[in-house]
Chain A
Amino acid sequence: MREDSSTIVMGIDVAGAAGKADEGFIDPFGGTFAMTKGLIQEFGTSRVLDTPISETGFVGAGVGAAAAGLRPLVDMMFVGFIGVCGDQIFNNMAKMHYMFGGKVKLPITIQAQTAASGGNAAQHSETLYSIFAHFPGLKCVVPSDPYSAKGLQIAAMKDDDPVVIFQSTRLMGVNFDQHVPEEAYELPIGKSRIVKTGDDVTLIGIGTTTRTCIQAAESLAKQGYQAEVVDLLSVSPIDEETILSSISKTRKVVIVDEDYPKCSVASELSALSAEKAFDLLDAPPVRVTAPHASIPYSSVLEQLHFPSVETVTKACREILG
């Protein structure tokens, strides 16, 4: 926001207590996860807009602002709220550049929070990046740690196309013990990275599940197997080259995704692996995903809903022998 005065922020509680500045309530929230904290104090209310609960309104305003020359960052809070702003995202944001024959750019960033972080139940715990990745015209990224989160956030905000960032609520409070440079830097959208090298099996993680994969790889190492972990980072476009070159080395792949399984990013990766690395695979691709069921409120069931280190390790052992 310091670098580019056309950058604005909109969303529910991105500052908090909208309209109550007179009563001393300035920035009490800074976003549900305090990601936008401090912005309203530095950049003021004309660039940091606390909105009513009105996703279709403020996401639409973000699309219009982007078409008219600003660079909006729009926080839609939980990804399940797509149901009340799908028209703006799927019909306007994704299609305007195409429908206007390339004459309009939409440098807009949407951020949405995904996954269950403890008892938010079926409607506030979804992942859903798969349905966004389905639509042409949207770039979709899923950071997996503080370093990638900062770099992808900046890359998204500098991109001239609409980018949707999916931030796992389960990663927000984790201490990664990781160096994050103070200066601005970008991670390229469309690139995955290898976070652990290995020769025996490729584990592909997305957001939260990258962490699960790394822990599973540690468990496998103790059992004598070297897993390579690919951190997908970008779900649209997909970095086919990194995935296929890893599979060509390990000849086995396990895809770990906490989204619903059907027509998912995991389906897409499994299909791509089979179609483009068929002769290289020693075993069929394996998907470890959430079940095809709504997310339970019960904390016991909620834990079982998501892929765990144990289920990933077990899936690997089945193809590793």
Chain B
Amino acid sequence: MVSTSVRALTYAQAVNEAFHQEFERDPSVILMGEDVAGGAGRSEFEDAWGGVFKLTGGLIGKFGPERVRDTPISENGFVGAAVGAAATGLRPIADLMFVGFVGVCGDQIFNNMSKMHYMFGGKVKLPLTVITSTGAGVGSAAQHSETLYSIFVHFPGLKCVAPSNPYNAKGLHAAAIRDDDPVIVFNNKQLMGGVGGGIHVPEDSYVFPIGKADRPKEGTDITLIGISYTTYQCLKAAEILEQKGFSAEVIDLLSLSPLDEDAVLSSVKKTRNVIIVDEDYPMCSMASELSAIIAEQAFDFLDSPPIRLNAPHASVPYSPVLEAEYIPSPEKIAQAALSILE
């Protein structure tokens, strides 16, 4: 492929394109959230923000304030409104700015969104998408830097995806919007800020299937499982390992609930060693779940115990020095791999 054929978008541009295409495709798609346009109610500032990470820019100008609704700081209100709108026939997207804000809309997500389909005996569909941003690394301190997808995955009735690059971000957002069940999309701040760019993003609309993992690098000696941003940490660690003569396979989980057990288990059964790299707190986390599933279902294939590399069981530090130590680094991953392989 010649480089001129690569249509490189940033993660935010790719998601933004998915939103524009889904809004055009289906008039029942609406968007709600704080600053999804920005400058709410003041026409001279219309679309001043387009979302904190510019994911929703341009939508209000094209589709109007009926479908693109700037809300007050009222997560419980607008997430609840989105649940109700979904139950009555619309396809809402609710933007929960930072995932730590789940504390003020947990009832809508955990008690209404995840349970309505079940409690109404399947008579109501909730074609609702919640997007939220996750992760440390940008100096936002303990309350605005969490990852937390693990607690959403804990609840039955929610599909949870964590894209890792502009290509799958565009496809997973489109898939989430078209899905008839509630889907939460976890967007990592560092990816939206540019990490992982430079890949081809088709202009045409497409979906990336929910429930499928990806394998960005094949290898034979050890499986490194990444989630969203940590997929890059795994890919960098794989390069370090390559220089030492070891071949690492990288699995990009992408879908946290449901989990692509086949992709995970078939890789682990091949390489017989596994490291799970997760930026979330370690206890009762995605990494715990993966480690447990691998131990339970691939026990006889493993040459070494599964290893989890998480953030520590500690709040996210504000200090940039400490924050840099917080997320598992490629060096730490490579070191953990070498401790098994050498």
Contacts and interface: CB of A to CB of B under 8 A. Distances in A.
A267 B288 contact: yes
B50 interface: no
A260 B289 CA distance: 12
A310 interface: no
Interface stretch (A82-90, A161-169, A202-210, A211-219): A82-90
Nearest to A56: B104
A123 B111 contact: yes
Given A82-B106, A91-B100, A263 B315 contact: no
A122 to B, nearest CB: 5
A84 B291 contact: no
A198 interface: no
A275 B292 CA distance: 9
Contacts of A26: none
Interface in B25-63: none
B314 interface: yes
Nearest to A270: B292
Given A99-B141, A130-B284, A294-B118, A137 B315 contact: yes
Given A131-B151, A267-B292, A285-B296, A99 B315 contact: yes
B150 interface: yes
B111 A285 contact: no
B139 interface: no
Contacts of B100: 90-91
B306 interface: yes
B308 interface: yes
B210 interface: no
Contacts of A157: none
Interface residues of A, number: 56
A88 B102 CA distance: 11
B313 interface: yes
B151 A287 contact: no
Nearest to A255: B292
B230 interface: no
Given A131-B284, A133-B283, A263-B150, A84 B106 contact: yes
Interface residues of B, number: 55
From A262, A275, A287, A292, name the one whose CB has the most chain B CB atoms within 10 angstroms.
A262
Contacts of A266: 292
Nearest to A279: B305
B94 to A, nearest CB: 15
Contacts of A238: 283
A268 B283 contact: yes
Contacts of B302: 278
Interface in A237-266: 238, 259-260, 262-266
B267 interface: no
B8 interface: no
Given A130-B154, A275-B307, A284-B297, A98 B283 contact: no
Contacts of A193: none
A104 interface: no
A17 interface: no
A91 B259 CA distance: 28
B107 interface: yes
A37 interface: no
Nearest to B311: A136
A275 B296 contact: no
Interface string A267-291: 1101101111010010111110001
Contacts, number: 162
Contacts of B114: 294
A84 B106 CA distance: 6
A142 to B, nearest CB: 13
B314 A285 contact: no
B143 A292 contact: no
A115 to B, nearest CB: 15
Given A95-B142, A262-B257, A263-B288, A134 B315 contact: no
A82 B107 CA distance: 7
A308 B292 CA distance: 22
Given A260-B156, A263-B289, A271-B291, A91 B315 contact: no
Contact of A134 (B109, B111, B281, B304): B281
Contacts of B107: 81, 83-84
A268 B295 contact: no
Interface in A19-40: none
Given A90-B102, A273-B295, 20 more contacts: A82-B106, A84-B106, A99-B141, A131-B284, A133-B283, A134-B148, A134-B284, A136-B281, A136-B312, A260-B154, A263-B284, A264-B284, A267-B289, A267-B292, A268-B292, A271-B288, A275-B306, A276-B305, A286-B296, A291-B156
Interface of A: 56, 80-91, 94-95, 98-99, 121-123, 128, 130-131, 133-137, 236, 238, 259-260, 262-268, 270-271, 273-276, 278, 281, 283-287, 291-294
Which 3 pairs show the lowest CB-CB distances between chains A and B? Answer: A83-B107, A87-B103, A274-B295
20 contacts: A84-B106, A90-B102, A99-B142, A122-B115, A122-B118, A133-B283, A136-B312, A262-B259, A263-B284, A268-B283, A268-B288, A271-B287, A274-B292, A274-B294, A274-B305, A275-B291, A275-B306, A284-B296, A287-B296, A294-B156
